[in-house]
Chains A and B, each alone.
Chain A
Amino acid sequence: MTVTDLLSYEDALASYDPVMGLEVHVELGTRTKMFCGCSTELGADPNSQTCPTCLGLPGALPVVNAVGVESAIKIGLALNCEIAQWCRFARKNYFYPDMPKNFQTSQYDEPIAYNGYLDVQLEDGEVFRVEIERAHMEEDTGKSLHVGGATGRIHGASHSLLDYNRAGIPLIEIVTKPIEGAGARAPEVAKAYVAELRELIKALGVSEARMEQGQMRCDVNLSLRPLGQKKFGTRSETKNVNSLRSVERAARFEIQRHAAVLSSGGTILQETRHFHEEDGSTTSGRIKEEAEDYRYFPEPDLVPVAPAREWVEELRAGLPELPRVRRKRIQDGWGIADHEMQSVLNAGALDLILATIDEGADAAAARKWWMGELARHANESGTELAEVPITPAQVARVAALVAAGDLNDKLARQVIEGVLAGEGEPDQVVDKRGLKVVSDDGALGAAVDQAIADNAAVADKIRGGNLAAAGALIGAVMKLTRGQADAKRVRELVLEKLGVQG
């Protein structure tokens, strides 16, 4: 890989102002494809979910999936867009083997939804408004599998295999207006926008929006202009950035790269860039020497889409609670402060905590484990909280063991450590590591006697009425029992044996 010159982030921002445009593709979760009746189920055998229409056989024709249109309108409404009274599909013409008709049925100058905005909350709680240019409907392409080359790239491949199961799956492309004024926070805004959009899509129930499965994909367009300049610089288009973290990293990398090129007197090429997960860099894709000519024209095989106003209003009225509202409701229910809620959101812990509560944990305990022990673990291992190898059900089980008095916090942390280390379910870790709280009086009594004998002076103080000194004896018992003693019971026994009223 070639080494790319980068300017430090601070230096870049000292001279330049970033402008971004984000294009997000969302695969809709419709049961059937956008223009035919084929299933959209993932994981089927290659080419088993195809028909004359999505294979582009001669003579086959498309028919619009009404649920796809409905989903598009819902997304448009949730993004505060205007919904077109009348719009058409258009053909985007270009040749590629995984595109059966060699044109993509899309929308061009008549999108179903346009002129909206999405308010996103940054990590410090500041709200940034991202303006939406448009949301339009289109179909996905098939998949090419390049065989024989390095890392699945077409370069050096001996041949390619084509799977058309994905061809024709409905997509909504959501395009922002140029995002200006974010300054040094541009990468953060990009991440927060995609995160908020993902929440929104999930809340609408139109897609599961799982980025790791390609159900939601983001292109990051970025340009720099000298501070104080109005005119936009030349942009690069970083394609298929497929995680929230990557969106942020890609934006940051491009800011540093552009700045290095510009400050050394170079010019930015208008090109597509590939993003690399491993090191967060981008490399040159294809150079757009001349603007690609897709020869768009209205799709003559489909009639215009003219959603009735009453229907649109019905859909508007039926929109579910949107993420921002939902978050506020949850926060109020938990009775926590803004900053505390913000750290839950920043940690990506909200859904995990809710799922843990669903599994029976109480809210405070669920928050405590995810925001404490597990967040620390994620931080140390450099992963997203959701990727920490423990499930909400397992966390809930640990919480239940604590609540029942079978574990104390210290033991519970060891159980979690065991689960994360792959030692099995919480109960298995408890058994294997022998982590049960000892509350049985026989065993504890012996330890208490031992502690009293070892610390005669302390014992005398307690006998003399200094109850605060009991802590030292409890600590000694805990030490003797390797932390497994039930502290509350130990205290009772100490006082009892020393003949003091608690």
Chain B
Amino acid sequence: MTDIIRLTAAQTAEKIASGELTAVEVTEAHLARIEAVDEKVHAFLHVDREGALEQARAVDAKRAAGEPLGPLAGVPLALKDIFTTEGVPTTVGSKILEGWIPPYDATVTKRLKAADVVILGKTNMDEFAMGSSTENSAYGPTGNPWDLTRIPGGSGGGSAAALASYQAPLAIGTDTGGSIRQPAAVTATVGVKPTYGGVSRYGMVAFSSSLDQGGPCARTVLDAALLHEVIAGHDPLDSTSIDAPVPPVVEAARNGNVAGLRVGVVKEFGGEGYQAGVVQRFTESVELLRDLGAEIVEISCPSFTYALAAYYLIAPSECSSNLARFDAMRYGLRVGDDGTKSAEDVTALTRDAGFGPEVKRRIMLGTYALSSGYYDAYYGSAQKVRTLITRDFEKAFESVDVIVSPTTPTTAFPIGERADDPMAMYLADLCTIPANLAGNAAMSLPCGLAPEDGLPVGLQIIAPALKDDRLYRVGAAVEAAFVSKWGHPLLEEAPQL
């Protein structure tokens, strides 16, 4: 059993296709692993045992009937609880949607099912994807498999922790300001934020529409690419979805190579607030890239200094509007409906009881920023900064092919440490936010353990929009070089659960 759960997704799919393993065996092994460790980790909010087994049986039946199987057929996956799943609870980590059973599948959910990927269940997250630690979940925090007293990153901490604790070889996350990449960094897994519009947002509960992007999470670069290919592509139900072919990510992941590649190092990423061990591992990664034949170019993106400020105006503004629909009228929690109160009162009581403090904080920030008289100074200025950041990227990508940086300034911090200090929490996304604001593609992959605390450090790679394949080409090369240097994938150094 242990062997099955430690296989990569690519290996698992191959063994199912060849008949060496059945999809049911694979699913059962993972369900057993969840049973064994998730009480400690708390990666899942909901495990759909029956649904998963039914999907697995269907894969086995297909194979028996000689039907062709997709490249990830029968491989289990952990789905962030932000994607709607028909007939399966979807809470977005919030009390306000407790008990809601969506009547429809998100496009990502549909594509996973169509590809015969087995959905094990729904993973924990910061409420409405607002947070960098998964502590903002209304259903309790998730532990980092490297140290259960530490955060697994956020908002997609559940998905990253599920991968790092071998409860699933694949997971789906969403990334508004770093919610795929930062959890990947602090758990030594791989996470990709595709180009904005690369993966449909239909059925992905909105936090900040212009920034939200679903993407693949895995333990290897190739697995992430295989998953990327399954979920990406134009969706007529999402107007902002890109109507263009999916970049050749799998081919790139199979052909890692950085020879002759121009790699940009952004001057503005670094300095105060960055942990020494993080900086050390990042510097070594840059050296490694140079050794592999890449040309390292220092670049300047002066507007990045304002990225965090712009983000914390744009994201709350959009969220204040996106979350207005949770009014107790049609679905989800309803508080105070005793026949004496007005609809307005019931809405107010429900929102008060149903939203957690961070969500309320952002709704209030956003409501204020959009108010007449303040709009220009706040939302309007933030949009201008966004344009400047996009221009900085465009200018940078004239002289480099990809940009690299640490994914997050520090390693996983202890649960509770930053809970009362929103600003300290927000700094976790310092390096990841610019790519969201500009809509670029970005990846985080493991680049070593920080010497001072023995915890994983992530390397971020940023590519221009629509050039997602570059992430995989570079990522695969870096991954191969590190694994050969370490003698094994970094995750194998994680403590046994």
* Residues on A facing B (Cβ under 8 Å): 52, 55-64, 91, 93, 95, 97, 100-103, 159-160, 162, 291, 293, 295-297, 300-303
CB pair A93–B239 under 8 Å, yes or no, is: no
Assuming the A-B contacts A52-B104, A59-B84, A95-B347, are A297 and B238 also in contact, with contact meaning beta carbons closer than 8 angstroms in the complex? Answer: no
* Interface size of B in residues (CB-CB distance below 8 Å): 45
Which of A61, A160, A297, A303 is the one whose CB lies under 8 Å from B321? Answer: A297
CB pair A103–B330 under 8 Å, yes or no, is: no
CB pair B237–A58 under 8 Å, yes or no, is: no
Q: Mark B314-344, 1 if CB is under 8 A from A, else 0.
A: 0001101100111101110000000100011
CB pair A297–B375 under 8 Å, yes or no, is: yes
A135: shortest Cβ distance to chain B, in Å?
22
CB pair A100–B325 under 8 Å, yes or no, is: yes
Q: Mark B362-399, 1 if CB is under 8 A from A, else 0.
A: 00000100111001000100000000000000000000
Other contacts beyond A57-B331, A60-B104, A101-B324: 16, CB < 8 A: A57-B102, A59-B106, A59-B201, A59-B202, A59-B203, A61-B238, A63-B237, A63-B238, A93-B324, A102-B324, A102-B325, A291-B372, A296-B370, A297-B375, A300-B208, A302-B240
CB pair B237–A95 under 8 Å, yes or no, is: no
CB pair B324–A297 under 8 Å, yes or no, is: no
CB pair A59–B205 under 8 Å, yes or no, is: yes
Is B44 among interface residues, defined by CB-CB distance under 8 A? no
CB pair A97–B239 under 8 Å, yes or no, is: no
CB pair B204–A59 under 8 Å, yes or no, is: yes
CB pair A56–B330 under 8 Å, yes or no, is: yes
CB pair A93–B84 under 8 Å, yes or no, is: no
Residue of A63, A159, A162, A296 with most partner-chain B CB within 10 A = A63
CB pair B90–A58 under 8 Å, yes or no, is: yes
CB pair B371–A52 under 8 Å, yes or no, is: no
CB pair B372–A295 under 8 Å, yes or no, is: yes
The 7 closest A-B pairs by CB, nearest first: A102-B324, A300-B209, A295-B370, A300-B210, A59-B203, A58-B205, A56-B325
Q: Mark B187-216, 1 if CB is under 8 A from A, else 0.
A: 000000000000001111110111000000
Chain A residues with CB under 8 A of B83:
59
Assuming the A-B contacts A57-B331, A59-B83, A300-B209, are A64 and B239 also in contact, with contact meaning beta carbons closer than 8 angstroms in the complex? Answer: yes
CB pair B102–A59 under 8 Å, yes or no, is: yes
Q: How far is the CA of A300 from the CA of B203 in the complex (A)?
A: 16
Residue of A56, A60, A159 with most partner-chain B CB within 10 A = A60
Chain A residues with CB under 8 A of B92:
58
Chain A residues with CB under 8 A of B318:
297, 300
Chain B residues with CB under 8 A of A296:
370
CB pair A93–B347 under 8 Å, yes or no, is: no
Q: Majority SS of interface residues in chain A? A: loop
Is B227 among interface residues, defined by CB-CB distance under 8 A? no
Q: How far is the CA of A301 from the CA of B318 in the complex (A)?
A: 10
Q: How far is the CA of A295 from the CA of B316 in the complex (A)?
A: 13
Is B66 among interface residues, defined by CB-CB distance under 8 A? no
CB pair B238–A293 under 8 Å, yes or no, is: no
Is B454 among interface residues, defined by CB-CB distance under 8 A? no
A199: shortest Cβ distance to chain B, in Å?
34
When C-beta atoms are compared, the residue in chain B nearest to A55 turns out to be B330
Is B97 among interface residues, defined by CB-CB distance under 8 A? yes
Which of B209, B321, B339 is the one whose CB lies under 8 Å from A93? Answer: B321
Which of A55, A59, A301 is the one whose CB lies under 8 Å from B240? Answer: A301
Q: How far is the CA of A302 from the CA of B201 in the complex (A)?
A: 12
Q: How far is the CA of A295 from the CA of B371 in the complex (A)?
A: 5
Which of B97, B321, B329, B370 is the one whose CB lies under 8 Å from A58? Answer: B97
Residue of A93, A159, A297 with most partner-chain B CB within 10 A = A297
B354: shortest Cβ distance to chain A, in Å?
13
Assuming the A-B contacts A93-B321, A295-B371, A297-B370, are A59 and B206 also in contact, with contact meaning beta carbons closer than 8 angstroms in the complex? Answer: yes
Q: Mark B236-265, 1 if CB is under 8 A from A, else 0.
A: 111110000000000000000000000000
CB pair B325–A58 under 8 Å, yes or no, is: yes
Q: How far is the CA of A57 from the CA of B102 in the complex (A)?
A: 8
Is B68 among interface residues, defined by CB-CB distance under 8 A? no
Is B271 among interface residues, defined by CB-CB distance under 8 A? no
Q: How far is the CA of A296 from the CA of B83 in the complex (A)?
A: 27
Q: How far is the CA of A162 from the CA of B343 in the complex (A)?
A: 12
B346: shortest Cβ distance to chain A, in Å?
9
Q: How far is the CA of A101 from the CA of B329 in the complex (A)?
A: 11
Chain A residues with CB under 8 A of B347:
95, 97
Assuming the A-B contacts A59-B206, A62-B239, are A297 and B379 also in contact, with contact meaning beta carbons closer than 8 angstroms in the complex? Answer: yes
When C-beta atoms are compared, the residue in chain A nearest to B97 turns out to be A58
Chain A residues with CB under 8 A of B100:
58
Chain B residues with CB under 8 A of A101:
324-325
B271: shortest Cβ distance to chain A, in Å?
32
Which of B104, B236, B239, B343 is the one whose CB lies under 8 Å from A160? Answer: B343
B83: shortest Cβ distance to chain A, in Å?
7
CB pair A295–B330 under 8 Å, yes or no, is: no
Chain A residues with CB under 8 A of B331:
57-58
When C-beta atoms are compared, the residue in chain B nearest to A294 turns out to be B372
Chain B residues with CB under 8 A of A293:
371-372
A380: shortest Cβ distance to chain B, in Å?
47
Which of B106, B236, B317 is the one whose CB lies under 8 Å from A297? Answer: B317
Chain A residues with CB under 8 A of B320:
93, 295
Is B103 among interface residues, defined by CB-CB distance under 8 A? yes
Q: How far is the CA of A93 from the CA of B375 in the complex (A)?
A: 14
CB pair A295–B321 under 8 Å, yes or no, is: yes
CB pair A95–B202 under 8 Å, yes or no, is: no
CB pair B102–A58 under 8 Å, yes or no, is: yes
B477: shortest Cβ distance to chain A, in Å?
35
CB pair A303–B239 under 8 Å, yes or no, is: yes
Chain B residues with CB under 8 A of A303:
239-240
Q: How far is the CA of A97 from the CA of B328 in the complex (A)?
A: 9
Which of B102, B239, B321 is the one whose CB lies under 8 Å from A91? Answer: B321
Q: How far is the CA of A297 from the CA of B317 in the complex (A)?
A: 9
Chain A residues with CB under 8 A of B237:
61, 63
When C-beta atoms are compared, the residue in chain B nearest to A36 turns out to be B237
